[in-house]
Chain A
Amino acid sequence: MTKTLRIVAAALALTVALSAESKAQEGQWFWGMEYMVGLATSDTKDFAGGSLSFRNFGIEGRYVASPNMSVGLYFGWNVFFNETSDVIQLDELDISGEQFRYINAFPILATGHYYFGMPGGFRPYVGVGVGTYYVENRLDIGLSSIVVDGWHFGVAPEIGVVIPVDWHVRSFLNVRYNWMTKTNDIQPSYFTFGVGFAWM
């Protein structure tokens, strides 16, 4: 077999394999878990500070609708925490003391993703989640706690990359921006930088 024939044969074999994998993945669910680092913005940053948050987790399922698209569901848990002695100013009232400020956000999103590249390979993707967030803002000061919580409508555009590990397992990296509508005069938003695994 000449060198050219060997290359063509290898290419054909790869194409058949990728096509087979592509077909095999279609109609399947991928289940994933991710760990994230959070970075607060806007009202979330004003309340919980601008430091990175290391308490963020997510689980999701993606149904492979076609070789380049998936739809699914995403559940997350994001915690932002800030200890501060900043004076709280409310019109003519000023309050000072050691404060523990917490935000616990729980996104529940329907998702859609579009993948570039070939199935089974290194696949950059773009996606978006749409749904609701339950967000609890809690301020502990002195011996008192003040809690403001509520449900927000939100969207979460996302970019990422899927990295194959083996036939059934993928790892992924992503950046997601969580933006929510205003509830109780609070409009939360934050970035997450995630790493995770998915399996079929």
Chain B
Amino acid sequence: MHQAQFARGLKSARAWLAGAALGLGVIFAACYPGDLTSITQTDVVATRHDSTADFSQPTYFLPDTVVQLYEDSTGSIPLSHEFDDLIISTIVTNMTNRGYTRVTDTTAAELPDYVLFVTSIGIESTFYVYSPGWCSGWGGWGGWGWWGGCWGGYWPPQVGSGTYETGTVYIDMIPGTLDTSVEPPQFTIQWTAAFRGLLGTQQSVTASRITGMINQAYAQSPYVTRN
């Protein structure tokens, strides 16, 4: 008798908790109705500039290499170099469109007006998820059961983890000469562009995203121009 009461009580508590979990899920979805539907939506482009800097000079130097920042201790991961040429060529196209001339002779007597450095870093991050296990067992308990089973949840609630990888590319633009008005003499970064997104597996999509983000960096930096 007591066992039957206990079983009924447990069933009732479970149903109540499952209902509460479902309610919380619905409320959370109602609070934050947006949803990422494609990897492109994870792409972010940030640019920062020195508003006192002079962007009107004609020449710049850009190494052919994308330098990768990689340290085991920071959770960084090695990135493929297959897109380095695309990154460099897209930057050159944008600089040309803005009226700048690339110089490649590093032995020339006259220094370029600007130097652009391109660096990249890959990061692996860990995330945690909580599944409330809603509706699991409702049908099995002979309760409402009208969903005809479960949406894939489990009882008791599950906690899981996973990882995702992001890649970030930085473009730094500095003057070609040291600023000797300060002690010690130093370079001042005139413009920085950083773009980041989830690492994908489709080469054509990744190439399109890289091109798009570099173009966006220039589009939102109209002051980087000689025109």
Contacts and interface: CB of A to CB of B under 8 A. Distances in A.
B220 A94 contact: yes
B44 A97 contact: yes
A96 B44 contact: yes
B196 A142 contact: yes
Interface residues on A, range: 20 to 34
A88 B223 CA distance: 16
A96 B44 CA distance: 6
Contacts of B45: 95-97
Give the interface SS of chain B, mostly helix, strand, loop or mixed.
mixed
Contacts of B36: 98
9 contacts: A55-B30, A79-B31, A87-B220, A96-B44, A97-B41, A97-B45, A98-B41, A102-B31, A140-B32
A104 interface: yes
A176 B70 CA distance: 56
B33 A98 contact: no
Contacts of B46: 93-96
In the complex, which of the residues A79, A95, A138 has the most CB atoms of chain B within 10 Å of its own CB atom? A95
The 5 closest A-B pairs by CB, nearest first: A100-B34, A142-B44, A97-B44, A98-B41, A94-B220
Interface of B: 30-34, 36, 40-51, 164, 166, 196-198, 216, 220-221
B29 to A, nearest CB: 10
A79 B43 contact: no
Contact of A95 (B30, B42, B44): B44
A141 B197 CA distance: 11
Contacts, number: 61
A96 B220 contact: yes
A144 B194 CA distance: 15
Contact of A142 (B31, B197, B220): B197
Interface of A: 55, 79, 81, 83, 87, 92-98, 100, 102, 104, 138, 140-144
Contacts of B220: 87, 94, 96
A92 B50 contact: yes
B223 to A, nearest CB: 10
Given A79-B30, A102-B32, A92 B43 contact: no
A51 to B, nearest CB: 12
B198 A143 contact: yes
In the complex, which of the residues A92, A98, A143, A144 has the most CB atoms of chain B within 10 Å of its own CB atom? A143
Contact of A81 (B33, B41, B44, B198): B33
Nearest to B166: A143
Contacts of A140: 32, 34
A93 B47 contact: yes
Contacts of B51: 92
A143 B227 CA distance: 35
A83 B32 CA distance: 11
B185 to A, nearest CB: 23
A89 B48 CA distance: 10
Given A92-B49, A95-B46, A143-B198, 9 more contacts: A55-B33, A81-B34, A94-B46, A94-B47, A96-B46, A100-B32, A104-B31, A142-B44, A143-B42
A100 B221 CA distance: 23
A93 B193 CA distance: 10
Nearest to A141: B44
A55 B196 CA distance: 33
Contact of A79 (B33, B48, B49): B33
Contacts of A143: 42, 164, 166, 198
Contact of A102 (B34, B44, B197, B198): B34
Contacts of A87: 220
In the complex, which of the residues A96, A100, A104, A144 has the most CB atoms of chain B within 10 Å of its own CB atom? A96
